[in-house]
């Protein structure tokens, strides 16, 4: 759940009124500039959206006398509005503060322009409000490809990730990958804050990857492009021996992600197999050039 108070802390907004409403939940990533509504066109009023007032909106309000101004504001500043943001630190009419206090609507101000605010706020809200789920696995950046490694516990996901990091690839998340659907085609993966930059390896315990390999060995988030699923080798199972079969797909939050299966048994170098899988399948099937990571 995203609240107005979290928004205030993230973007350092000043709260002018409506402090009691700071725990209101934000449910929409779209923002509303209510110029048309202030002019009397109320057919598409969307009070569940954050309202933004810039020079255009405040200039329109200044054309009304006090009683009309309050009437116009009362029509758009409904109690369902999560908050109102005034841009450029502009001076606001007294009616704004009165209505915000009466209806428990946080009234915020920022020195940013409306254009800057829209750019920053919409990106943030899309990420925060995107549909999300948790997937058991490891997410690494291999040759620039967002690769998620999945499989049963103890199959060797963390060991494979450790070897990949040692070879110059980047850790994004281990054990649990928080996946968000940020648009119709992209899944963004990141690590829960409590386990960020950490990798649990049986026999060694919890490793801080940045301490072992440096700050350049991790990244905060990565688009998930590809999945490698590890499973115990089954003698009677028919595995792909020629490498001509296209990858299957796995549905995550309604998006299909290419996935291949790699059987695990003693003597197989998982890190090498994963690197080759990325190069072969991503290049051949999706025509994206990947290059080896830069090394010191």
221 labeled binding residue: no
Catalytic annotation, pick one of 69, 175, 180, 222: 175
The catalytic position among 241, 265, 287, 295 is 241
Contact 147, 161 (CB under 8 A): no
Domains of the chain: 2-129 (3.40.1390.20), 132-286 (3.40.50.300)
**What are the pLDDT digits (tens) for 35-67?**
999 888 888 889 999 999 999 999 999 888 888
User: 98: annotated binding-site residue?
Assistant: no
User: Per-residue confidence at 245, pLDDT binned at 50, 70, 90?
Assistant: low
pTM higher than 0.75, yes or no?
A: no
| 217 or 277, which is more confident | 217
Q: What rounded mean pLDDT belongs to the chain? A: 89
For 130-172, how does the pLDDT look when each residue is reduced to its tens digit (9 = 90+)? Answer: 899 999 999 999 999 999 999 998 898 999 999 999 999 999 9
Residue 294 predicted with pLDDT over 90: no
Catalytic residue among 24, 49, 112, 157: 157
Question: For the residues of the chain, what is the DSSP string, one character each?
Answer: -EEHHHHHHHHTPEEEE-GGGTTPEE----EE--HHHHTT--TT--TTSEEEE-HHHHHHHHTS-HHHHHHHHHHH--TT---EEESTT----HHHHHHHHHTT--EEE-SS-HHHHHHHHHHHHHHHHS-EEEEESEEEEETTEEEEEEESTTSSHHHHHHHHHHTT-EEEESSEEEEEE-SSS-EEEE--GGGTTEEEETTTEEEEHHHHH-GGGB-SEEE--EEEEEEE--TTS---SSS-SPPEEEEETTEEEEEEEEEE-TT--HHHHHHHHIIIIIHHHH-----PPP--
24 as an active site residue: the answer is: no
241 pLDDT tier (thresholds 50, 70, 90):
low
Catalytic-residue membership of 222: no
Tell me whether residue 186 is one of the annotated catalytic residues.
no
pLDDT in tens, 252-270: 999 999 998 888 888 788 8
Residue 178, burial from CB neighbour count under 10 angstroms (0-12, 13-18, 19+) = middle
Residue 208 has pLDDT above 70, yes or no: yes
pLDDT for position 182: 86
- Residues of the chain with pLDDT > 90, as a percent, come to 66
- At residue 101, the pLDDT reads 95
């Amino acid at each position: 759940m995203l609240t107005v108070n979290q928004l205030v802390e993230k973007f350092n907004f000043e709260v002018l009124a409506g402090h009691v409403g700071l725990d209101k939940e934000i449910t929409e990533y779209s923002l509303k500039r209510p110029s048309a509504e202030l002019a009397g066109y109320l057919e598409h009023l969307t009070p569940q959206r954050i309202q933004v007032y810039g020079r255009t909106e405040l200039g329109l309000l200044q054309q009304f006398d006090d009683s009309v101004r309050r009437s116009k504001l009362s029509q758009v500043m409904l109690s369902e509005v999560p908050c109102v943001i005034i841009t450029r630190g502009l001076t606001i009419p007294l009616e704004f503060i009165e209505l915000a206090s009466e209806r428990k609507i946080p009234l915020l101000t920022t020195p940013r322009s409306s254009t800057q605010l829209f750019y920053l706020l919409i990106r943030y809200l899309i990420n925060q409000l995107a549909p999300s789920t948790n997937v058991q696995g490891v997410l690494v950046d291999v040759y620039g490809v967002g690769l998620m490694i999945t499989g049963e516990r103890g199959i060797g996901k963390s060991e494979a990730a450790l070897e990949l990091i040692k070879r110059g690839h980047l850790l994004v998340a281990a054990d649990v990958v928080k996946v968000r659907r940020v648009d119709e085609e992209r899944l963004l993966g990141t690590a829960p804050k409590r386990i960020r930059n950490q990798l649990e390896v049986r026999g060694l315990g919890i490793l801080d990857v940045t301490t072992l390999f440096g700050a350049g060995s991790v990244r905060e988030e990565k688009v998930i492009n590809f999945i490698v699923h590890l499973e115990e080798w089954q003698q009677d199972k028919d595995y792909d021996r020629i490498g001509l079969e296209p990858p299957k797909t796995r549905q995550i939050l309604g998006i299909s992600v290419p996935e291949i299966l790699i059987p695990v048994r003693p003597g197989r170098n998982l890190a090498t197999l994963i690197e080759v899988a990325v190069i072969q399948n991503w290049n051949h099937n999706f025509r994206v050039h990947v290059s080896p990571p830069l090394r010191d």
